[in-house]
Amino acid sequence: MLEGIHPLLTGELLLHLDRMGHSDAVVIADAHFPAWALGERVIDLPGTTTPEVVAAIRTVLPLDDAPGVDLMTSADGDVLEVQRELMEAAGTELDTTRFVERFAYYEVAEGAYLMVRTGETRKYGNALLRKGVVGHPSE
């Protein structure tokens, strides 16, 4: 156990987040997402939601310059409640979040360093975060 570490951040997850470089991506996927078909590194966190996991990851991972977050565009193009929660958890807004068409999103996600599959059952509850530069605390 470590102090100051969000309880959803397992040792395995922290290891992979640490190994990511600048602009590497992590996909936080809903339960419907084909994470195991697309990803080389997949961590399962059943019983969690994507906004919970995004918020936990953001406690240790700075975002890359905009767009630091990609969300999958819903079928009708509306911004869904789960997507609003994902933006809030990531600390982004509509103008700093990129929405990507579903099949294009799969292509972008396939290049991610890591995928974290959650128990989220709401449709379009996926977020791709790009790691920014980790700076010295005084910078």
Could you tell me if residue 91 is left (phi over 0), alpha (psi between -120 and 50 degrees) or otherwise beta? Answer: left
- Residue 114's SS3 state is strand
Q: What is the pLDDT of residue 136?
A: 55
Q: What are the residue ranges spanned by the domains of the chain?
A: 22-130
- Which one of the listed residues 6, 22, 32, 136 is annotated catalytic? 22
Please list the ranges in the chain whose pLDDT falls under 70. Answer: 1, 136-139
Q: What is the pLDDT of residue 138?
A: 46
**Which pair of structure tokens corresponds to residue 20?**
């990511």
- 22-130: what CATH class? alpha beta
- Concerning whether 22 is annotated as a catalytic residue, the answer is yes
Q: What is the pLDDT of residue 135?
A: 77
The burial class, CB within 10 Å (0-12 / 13-18 / 19+), for 79 is middle
* Contacts of residue 130, Cβ cutoff 8 Å, sequence gap at least 6: 23, 24, 25, 63, 64, 67, 68, 69
For 83-105, how does the pLDDT look when each residue is reduced to its tens digit (9 = 90+)? 999 999 999 999 999 999 999 99
